[in-house]
Amino acid sequence: MVKRNSPFLSMARVLTSLLRGSAMIRIRPEVSGLLKAADASAVLNSLQFALELEHATIPPYLYAMWSLGTSSTNSAAARIIRSVVNEEMRHLATVANLINALGGTPVFDSPSVLPHYPGPLPGAVEEGLSVGLAPFSLDLVEQTFMVIEQPEHPLEFQALAAAADEPMTIGEFYRKIRAVIADDLGDSAFTGPPGNQVTPDMVSGVVAVTDVASAKQAIDTIISQGEGTETSPGEVVGSDFAHYYRFAEIVKGHKLVPNPAAGPSDPPDQQFTYTGAEIAAPTGVIAAPVNPTTAGYPEGSAARQASIDFNVTYTGMLKAFQDAFSGHPDQIGATVSTMFSLQSKATAMMALTPPAGPTFEFQPASA
């Protein structure tokens, strides 16, 4: 194993950084261009893309986290990834609330909206970035997860702002949706029954949406938890750092903490430093396959049957989400419980010889 501070690995990362430049996920112009119409239909279509994008990040994060196993050495990295997954799930529910509030119906349980691995994220483009299912590695966190979560202006260096005709970053895409809701739609566009909202007492951290003010709060929460702000790595809503900086803690090997030597007038990128508690470089990562498919497992094998079983539960969870956000929000608790059962199925697959991994494919129970 190459050590975290190996000069060869450090040189490779420098070269990768130079080659990638200001790499970050951007929204394809044909998707962000939907908002030029500045009407409710355009916002609903854009929010459905946002929902699919939020969903698509979760399986890769889970796959990497599950591959860390139960070793105490890996627990700090696993906790960080789990904290990001939990917030992505809340973002998913909050986007669904936005769609419901505007009189639409979020779509969860159609094969057409499921992500395909490996490949680009739905509605997004980052040249050369293909997101897949792979066991944990520092390179995976740095070159994929941090690229997914990278803000428009990360505090480590200045990012290029997108021109009007160029693809938008994820944060810019959400801000454009926010602007259209606030400036063009107004409170009269919120025609969805308030009773259909999944509320914070049902799922902690979810934002219920009933009007422009709550819609702005919902979008601001999603942006800040993913990106932080231009002057701080912290969330506007919440007490943790934004996702990009949490993943950077794994790569740097230390928690991000306030810099005691910084004065109030020092630049934002000097206010914090990666010198907090150590985050050990994970070891003994399970050698789960990269980008597995059910069809790729041998016919009649334990791996294939386990893959089918996992996907039946996964698809059932998506259908339960569909039901919860189609007028039965009180059922969201059972849906979350089903989601947690996926972990035991995935870890059992990774314990097989040779290790297998979940494929996150659409698999109805009746099929």
All structural domains of the chain: 19-291 (1.20.1260.10)
Whole-angstrom Cα distance, residue 281 to residue 137?
9
CB atoms within 10 A of CB 275: 13
pLDDT of 149? 87
Tell me the β-bridge partners of 258. 272
**Is the pLDDT at 7 greater than 60, yes or no?**
no
Confirm if 345 and 312 have CB atoms less than 8 A apart.
no
**CB 14: neighbour CB atoms within 10 A?**
10
Distance of CA 74 to the CA centre of its chain: 21
What's the pLDDT tens digit per position in 63-108? 999 999 988 889 999 999 999 999 999 899 999 999 999 999 999 9
Question: How far is CA 67 from each of CA 39, 149, 153, 243, 333, rounded to the nearest angstrom?
Answer: 44, 21, 31, 20, 27
Q: Is 262 left (phi over 0), alpha (psi -120 to 50) or beta?
A: beta
pTM: predicted TM-score of the whole model, two decimal places? 0.85
Position 11 confidence tier, pLDDT thresholds 50, 70, 90 = very low
- Beta strands at 257-258 and 26-27: parallel, antiparallel or unpaired: unpaired
